[in-house]
Amino acid sequence: MRVHYVEVGDLTVDATPNFYVNENGERCLEWAANGTTIHDMVLLFDAEGRPINAANEYLIYCKTVDKLQDIRSIAKGLMHFFDILDTEKLSWDKMPRPRNQRPLYRFRAYLQALHDEIDPETGKRRLASTTAKSYRGAAIGLYVYWQGYGKFERDPCHIFEANISDSRMLGHINRNIKVQMTDLKIVARDKTKNTALPNHLSPLLMETRPELQALKSIIKNGYGYVQVNGKYIKKSISSETKLAVLLALYTGMRRLEILSFSSSLIYMPRPDENAISITIGPAIRCHTKGGESGEIKIPSWLMRLLFQYIHSRSYKNRLAKFIEKTRDPLALKYPPLLLSSQGKPYSGNSLNARWSEIRNAIIIDNNLPKFAHKFHNLRSTYATYLTFSLLNLKFPENHPSHPNEPVLTRSQVEAEVQARMRHSSPQTTTLYVKFWDEHHLEREADRIYQEELDNIYGDDEAIGMWNETVFMKVGLKGEAWPK
């Protein structure tokens, strides 16, 4: 067994030990109930099954001090780092005088070599530059943490500050921000042009590549394919997996947000509601990116489907098991929508495995051998078609000043999509608009999917852009036009 990480669930730390001798004269140890419980904890173990304390203390710090909701990506990066150290017989805290012999530099060289190598079968790089940089960042974070304790004789790497332009939403206030950088540069050889959409942001398309249509068909038919001994065997798709796919496709939520989305937020919508606005964030135990709260919109038909599910016998049984095992009062108040049959919250690994089975069905039964989308691409699909829907919003023909003219400018569309997707940087949002322009995707739009989004964003209350600024821009503040 190599270096590996284990999802241990809830972990209690900093409890007071109580030593005593029992009636048989045996020494015993009990722990007081004054510890801190860390939820969804991940720990690292070496090839012998022993805990790697240096890594685990840092992972606990990430959870308790940095308040990171999901540390799996950090754990995975550290797993690769300590695995390389184990292979090359290196100590993580020993810093030789030659810089290129220190652990971080050796790890950087390993990641660069892996990124440079191309798989002859797939024609793709063994390791994407984004993944390589993520692994590197995890290892650097470990050393920054321990350097605060004066752990090393020499610097693990050269860390310096640099000024970069701030392209985030409020970047115009402070033009530049200071960031920490290192000399552990990884040369990315898989960069795309600025106007191209990266693979992890690519949407599912229609017509020329009927990917979205194929996905809907597989979800409707309710089966995927699992590979057993080299053979593909049909396997039914669970209700929980279907709901996860629908939530990603029609709300744009991230994977971790879907996995922690609470059933307590679900209710039967009114007949006149096209969509329901819901605020998600740490306050309701929803693990949003960066721990920031934000608003999502759920179509009324999907909300009704969720309402039916949480009142099903299956969910009630799962919820009862979850309540029996859970002591966290916030988790009891906001239980997850997606639970396993054992009453445990759905894990990211389980969802990835189920998505792989769906992807197999799309490839096999729909003649799409190049379908390689990940679950995250469902969020990108939502963003792309939302962009298209907003760009095509027009005033009615009988509008007094702007008949059949676009309601929103491109910049307003980008601002709305950025708000709905909760992007920290407008650059990501801009890619979606450019993507439509450059690929002429209007001809490939899934009309049914687009109409469903139009139902959410097609009225002035739902769009969220009908404020004083917009009305003043079109010269219609407070004015209505004939029906």
Q: What's the pLDDT at 364? A: 93
Three-state DSSP class for 238?
A: coil
Q: What's the pLDDT at 236? A: 94
Stated as kind and residue range, the H or E segment containing 184 is: none
Q: What's the pLDDT at 337? A: 97
All residues at 6 or more sequence positions from 467 whose CB lies less than 8 Å from its CB, including other chains: none
Q: To 5 degrees, how large is the angle CA 355–CA 361–CA 363?
A: 105
Q: What is the pTM of this model?
A: 0.63
Stated as kind and residue range, the H or E segment containing 8 is: strand 4-13
All residues at 6 or more sequence positions from 415 whose CB lies less than 8 Å from its CB, including other chains: 426, 465
- Distance (Å, whole) CA 460 – CA 471: 11
Q: What's the pLDDT at 219? A: 92
**What is the DSSP secondary structure assignment for residue 100, as one 8-state letter?**
G
- Distance (Å, whole) CA 80 – CA 5: 10
- Distance (Å, whole) CA 357 – CA 362: 9
CB 274, CB 456: distance < 8 Å: yes
Q: Report CA Rg, the chain.
A: 26
Strand partners, 28: 20
Three-state DSSP class for 150?
A: coil
State the amino acid at position 152 in one-letter form: F
Pick out the chain residues at pLDDT < 70. Answer: 1, 164-177, 191-209, 425-483
Q: What's the pLDDT at 345? A: 92
Q: What's the pLDDT at 153? A: 87
CB 218, CB 317: distance < 8 Å: no
Q: What's the pLDDT at 446? A: 54
Give pLDDT tens digits for 285-343.
Answer: 998 887 888 889 998 999 999 999 999 999 999 999 999 988 888 899 999 999 999 99
All residues at 6 or more sequence positions from 106 whose CB lies less than 8 Å from its CB, including other chains: 84, 88, 90, 100
- Distance (Å, whole) CA 325 – CA 148: 38
- Distance (Å, whole) CA 468 – CA 175: 27
Q: What's the pLDDT at 482? A: 33
- In terms of Cα–Cα distance, which of 216, 162, 160 is closest to 183? 160
| Residue 277 C-alpha from the chain's centroid | 20
Q: To 5 degrees, how large is the angle CA 344–CA 12–CA 18?
A: 135
Q: Report the 10 Å Cβ neighbour count for 379.
A: 23
Residue with tokens 């980008």: 414
Three-state DSSP class for 105?
A: helix
Q: Cα(first)–Cα(last) distance of the chain, in Å?
A: 70
CB 322, CB 340: distance < 8 Å: no
CB 373, CB 215: distance < 8 Å: no
- Distance (Å, whole) CA 325 – CA 384: 40
Strand partners, 225: 234
CB 354, CB 215: distance < 8 Å: no
**What is the DSSP secondary structure assignment for residue 274, as one 8-state letter?**
S
